[in-house]
Amino acid sequence: MRRLSRALALLVLLLAPSAFAQAVLTGADMRPAQSLDGAWHWSVDPYRDGKAGFHGGMPGESSRRWSDIIQADALEQNPRARYEFDMQRSPVTHLPGSWIGHAAEMRYYQGLVWYQRTFDARKPAAGTRMFLRFGAADYTTDVYLNGKSVGSHKGGFTPFVFDVTELLRDGSNQITISVDSARTDDDVPPPVTDWETYGGITRSVTLVTVPETFVDDAWVRLGRDGRIHADVRLYGHQAQNRDLAVRIPALGLTLSGKTDSSGSWTSSAPAPGMLKRWSPEVPTLYDVRIESGTDLLQDRIGFRTIETRGTQILLNGKPVFLRGISMHEEELGKDPVRAITPAAARALLTEIKQGLNGNFVRLAHYPHSEVMTRMADELGLIVWSEVPVYWRVNWNNPATLASARQQLRENIVRDRNRASIALWSVANETPIGDARNAFLRTLIADVRAIDDSRLVTAALLSKREGKVMRIDDPLVADLDVMAINTYNGWYSQDPLAELPSFEWRSPANKPLIFSEFGADAQAGYNDAAADPHKFSEEFQAEYYRQTLAMAAKVPSLAGLSPWLLKDFRSPRRQHPVFQQGWNRKGLISETGARKQAFFVLAEEYRKRAGH
Ligand code: GCB
């Protein structure tokens, strides 16, 4: 009996969320860490041979190839062994960055690629843990350390960590990673999108050291009730009933207490009168320290409120019009590899903030790098953050829903401390239907459960009846902000001059954002005719003038994020003259040349900003 209850107690301990759940390491990019970015060997594996069994059979039947790849010292141990993968003699590339940049023949490659490097480390000291942390890898990732599998992850845009405390050794360590970019109809996003996949390891890989029990997740924010709230969760064997404190030294504020039996703690205090609220005009950030035992997690956090009143969006209690633009995660240049450095993020966001007089950016169509959202905090841009539930997702498959929910959670948990983020979007242009509605309602409920301090939206489609545009998607009832993508005059034959006479109708008393509108133009292609050709700068500029005139007549309009800042790679855009693999709806070219429409939007935003 005693034995049984002891076994039960052990089981309860093992299952306690703090000891058992997967760690998330929120704010890991602010922790001291060893960077594993830099030189890596890589090898393409189009038949997934390294994963397959004998004669291409099921993996695991015989893992000969797989073990060839991950055993660095195998040849030293047996010089007569036959190895066909030899990662140590494979070519070297620089990570992070998509394999599109590794070699010319990798441009349209979809499949499996192996990566390997060695690094020096020390076995973790007693009382510490070490995690391998990936900012993102697209799409299915398997990780092996010193010949052992440490875990896998699906989803191309969110961070993940593995506890490698037991596997690290003193001296040289070998890490091997397989990344498979192929997706099926059951994945999120599905295989066909209007953007480049950028397979590979696109964000930083780090080795993070923390105490055995550490601050795994901390969320500190200003509530609509005027109080500073903190939610903290510890991870580790001593996570329960443990002292912790959240300090904001510049405000003289300390919240302190003890975690509960699940390792969690929540507290709040009135916001001090001296608090300077974050806004695009004055993006004030505060140093915040979260302390527990020997652990210290530091962050830079802004405090502001965001809510709606009727058709208005209120920032810090005052109506704000979102003067925005959409963008993809793609750096400027002729051959982007989706490697977003602080300099790349600053260059793009400064073009919005200063060039366009903007205060808002839609980070489409998936979670962008944390480098980008931190830069938005710093520069003062309100952010729309999105998960890749795009076009035709398999609404009926529970595994697809699970993947969307996982990506949504990983995104929100990573970025809940970013003051810039005002809107979580759960989908883009998804066809109305019962299964889709139920799927998206689950995501909306998840957002509200994980973060009730922000607004929920989704980019929807309207219904056209002559010149009346109706917003009658049943999902509107579940959202805080309606958002519509509209392309009259580009994907329809409507003369541009008629756009202002379109009338927008919606039964809902909610704010509306035009989350997309746009027209392709090739920078430098000019057509001075009265009725300019599509793809000319003049057509795009006139399209913007007329669409903005239409927008000005929509009373519930609370913001705009036209499609989009910069031309971006899209394999489905193959017009031989104008596109050549690029979607040309950018207001700037891939190298940053401003098109005429850029100045049309900049002028509109200058007026709306009241400058
Ligand atoms: C859309 C999509 C976006 C496309 C864009 C286009 O509605 O949301 O991903 O790139 O249209 O250019 O057609």
425-451 core/surface letters (b: 16 or more CB in 10 A; e: else): bbbbbbeeeeebbebbeebbebbeebb
Do 265 and 334 reside in the same domain of the chain? no
pTM reported for the whole predicted model: 0.95
Do 245 and 197 reside in the same domain of the chain? no
Distance CA 110, CA 105 (A): 11
- 8 Å CB contact between 513 and 481: yes
Question: What pLDDT sits at residue 16?
Answer: 45
- 8 Å CB contact between 283 and 380: yes
Question: What average pLDDT does this structure show over 97-101?
Answer: 98
Do 593 and 544 reside in the same domain of the chain? yes
Instruction: Please give the distance, rounded to the nearest whole angstrom, from the Cα atom of residue 142 to the centre of ligand 1.
Output: 32
3-state SS, residue 152: strand
280 C-beta neighbours (distance < 10 Å), count: 21
The yes-or-no verdict on residue 557 having pLDDT over 50 is yes
Closest atom, ligand 1, to C-alpha of 516: 7
pLDDT band at 15 (very low <50, low <70, confident <90, very high): very low
Question: What pLDDT sits at residue 151?
Answer: 95
Do 160 and 142 reside in the same domain of the chain? yes
Six token digits for residue 526? 């000019």
More confident residue, 242 or 18: 242
Instruction: Look at residue 314 and tell me if it is in a domain.
Output: no
Question: What φ, ψ does residue 229 adopt, rounded to 5°?
Answer: -110, 145
Instruction: Look at residue 75 and tell me if it is in a domain.
Output: yes
Ligand 1 mutation pick, 329, 391, 583, max ligand atoms within 8 A of CB: 583
Question: What pLDDT sits at residue 423?
Answer: 98
Question: What pLDDT sits at residue 86?
Answer: 83
Closest atom, ligand 1, to C-alpha of 568: 10
Instruction: Look at residue 271 and tell me if it is in a domain.
Output: yes
The yes-or-no verdict on residue 17 having pLDDT over 50 is no
- 8 Å CB contact between 138 and 156: yes
Instruction: Please give the distance, rounded to the nearest whole angstrom, from the Cα atom of residue 585 to the centre of ligand 1.
Output: 9
Instruction: Give the strand pairing for 160-163 and 148-154.
Output: unpaired
More confident residue, 18 or 462: 462
Instruction: Please give the distance, rounded to the nearest whole angstrom, from the Cα atom of residue 587 to the centre of ligand 1.
Output: 14
- 8 Å CB contact between 390 and 193: yes
Please identify, among 161, 193, 211, the residue that sits at the C-terminal boundary of a domain. 211
Ligand 1 mutation pick, 366, 563, 575, max ligand atoms within 8 A of CB: 563
Do 246 and 384 reside in the same domain of the chain? no
Do 347 and 371 reside in the same domain of the chain? yes
Six token digits for residue 88? 């140590």
Do 367 and 261 reside in the same domain of the chain? no
Q: How many helices (H) and strands (E) does the chain have?
A: 10, 35
Sheet containing 312-315: which strands, arranged edge to edge? 306-309, 312-315, 318-319
Instruction: Please give the distance, rounded to the nearest whole angstrom, from the Cα atom of residue 484 to the centre of ligand 1.
Output: 12
Three-class HEC string of 265-294: EEEEEECCCCCCCCCCCCCCCEEEEEEECC
Ligand 1 mutation pick, 192, 193, 194, max ligand atoms within 8 A of CB: 194
Question: What pLDDT sits at residue 366?
Answer: 98
Ligand 1 mutation pick, 363, 365, 486, 516, max ligand atoms within 8 A of CB: 516
284-316 core/surface letters (b: 16 or more CB in 10 A; e: else): bbbebebbbbebbbebbbbbbbbbbeebebbbe
Instruction: Please give the distance, rounded to the nearest whole angstrom, from the Cα atom of residue 492 to the centre of ligand 1.
Output: 14
Range of the domain at 504: 330-608
Six token digits for residue 352? 């919005």
pLDDT band at 18 (very low <50, low <70, confident <90, very high): very low
Closest atom, ligand 1, to C-alpha of 365: 9
Instruction: Look at residue 324 and tell me if it is in a domain.
Output: no
Closest atom, ligand 1, to C-alpha of 364: 9
Q: Which residues line ligand 1 (CB under 6 A)?
A: 194, 365, 428-429, 485, 516, 563, 583, 585
Residues with Cβ within 8 Å of residue 60, at least 6 apart in sequence? 53
Query: Widest CA span of the chain, in angstroms?
Result: 91
Mean pLDDT value across the chain = 94
Question: What pLDDT sits at residue 49?
Answer: 84
Question: What average pLDDT does this structure show over 385-404?
Answer: 98
Distance CA 262, CA 256 (A): 17
Do 206 and 219 reside in the same domain of the chain? no
pLDDT band at 13 (very low <50, low <70, confident <90, very high): very low
Instruction: Please give the distance, rounded to the nearest whole angstrom, from the Cα atom of residue 583 to the centre of ligand 1.
Output: 9
Instruction: Please give the distance, rounded to the nearest whole angstrom, from the Cα atom of residue 25 to the centre of ligand 1.
Output: 34
pLDDT digit string, tens, across residues 327-366 = 999 999 999 999 999 999 999 999 999 999 999 999 999 9
Six token digits for residue 250? 């510049």
Instruction: Please give the distance, rounded to the nearest whole angstrom, from the Cα atom of residue 590 to the centre of ligand 1.
Output: 17
Distance CA 295, CA 125 (A): 15
Question: What φ, ψ does residue 117 adopt, rounded to 5°?
Answer: -155, 165
- 8 Å CB contact between 218 and 429: no
Distance CA 382, CA 521 (A): 27
pLDDT digit string, tens, across residues 473-493 = 999 999 999 999 999 999 999
Instruction: Look at residue 99 and tell me if it is in a domain.
Output: yes
Residue nearest ligand 1's atom 7 by CA? 485
State the DSSP H helix or E strand holding residue 600, giving kind and residue range, or none if neither: helix 596-608
Domain count, the chain: 3
C-alpha distances in Å from residue 257, one per residue of 221, 230, 245: 17, 11, 7
Name the DSSP letter for residue 576: T
The yes-or-no verdict on residue 190 having pLDDT over 70 is yes
CA angle 396/23/455 to nearest 5° reads 55
Please identify, among 146, 181, 211, the residue that sits at the C-terminal boundary of a domain. 211
Question: What pLDDT sits at residue 6?
Answer: 55
Question: What average pLDDT does this structure show over 311-323?
Answer: 98
pLDDT digit string, tens, across residues 509-531 = 999 999 999 999 999 999 999 99
253: domain CATH number? Answer: 2.60.40.10
pLDDT band at 21 (very low <50, low <70, confident <90, very high): confident
Question: What pLDDT sits at residue 72?
Answer: 57
Residue nearest ligand 1's atom 3 by CA? 194
Six token digits for residue 589? 């070219």
Distance CA 182, CA 313 (A): 39
Name the DSSP letter for residue 46: T
pLDDT digit string, tens, across residues 584-602 = 999 999 999 999 999 999 9
- 8 Å CB contact between 536 and 526: yes
Question: What pLDDT sits at residue 65?
Answer: 58
Do 48 and 163 reside in the same domain of the chain? yes
Instruction: Look at residue 39 and tell me if it is in a domain.
Output: yes
Question: What pLDDT sits at residue 20?
Answer: 53
Do 561 and 582 reside in the same domain of the chain? yes
Closest atom, ligand 1, to C-alpha of 491: 13
Instruction: Look at residue 398 and tell me if it is in a domain.
Output: yes
Distance CA 62, CA 83 (A): 15
Instruction: Look at residue 313 and tell me if it is in a domain.
Output: no
Rounded percentage of the chain residues whose pLDDT exceeds 90: 89
Question: What average pLDDT does this structure show over 193-214?
Answer: 98
- Cis-peptide, bond into residue 564, ω within 30° of zero: yes
Do 176 and 54 reside in the same domain of the chain? yes
Do 62 and 167 reside in the same domain of the chain? yes
Residue nearest ligand 1's atom 6 by CA? 194
Closest atom, ligand 1, to C-alpha of 570: 10
Question: What pLDDT sits at residue 12?
Answer: 45
The yes-or-no verdict on residue 416 having pLDDT over 90 is yes
Instruction: Please give the distance, rounded to the nearest whole angstrom, from the Cα atom of residue 194 to the centre of ligand 1.
Output: 6
Given the structure tokens 């954002």, which residue do they identify? 513
Instruction: Please give the distance, rounded to the nearest whole angstrom, from the Cα atom of residue 365 to the centre of ligand 1.
Output: 10
381: domain CATH number? Answer: 3.20.20.80
Instruction: Please give the distance, rounded to the nearest whole angstrom, from the Cα atom of residue 545 to the centre of ligand 1.
Output: 20
- Cis-peptide, bond into residue 190, ω within 30° of zero: no
158: domain CATH number? Answer: 2.60.120.260
Please identify, among 173, 192, 211, the residue that sits at the C-terminal boundary of a domain. 211
Question: What pLDDT sits at residue 602?
Answer: 98
Residue nearest ligand 1's atom 10 by CA? 194
The yes-or-no verdict on residue 1 having pLDDT over 50 is no
Distance CA 13, CA 7 (A): 10
Residue nearest ligand 1's atom 4 by CA? 194
Q: Which amino acid is at 162?
A: F
Rounded percentage of the chain residues whose pLDDT exceeds 70: 93
3-state SS, residue 331: coil
- Say how far residue 506 (Cα) sits from the centre of its chain: 30
pLDDT band at 69 (very low <50, low <70, confident <90, very high): confident
Question: What pLDDT sits at residue 19?
Answer: 44
The yes-or-no verdict on residue 14 having pLDDT over 90 is no
Instruction: Please give the distance, rounded to the nearest whole angstrom, from the Cα atom of residue 96 to the centre of ligand 1.
Output: 27
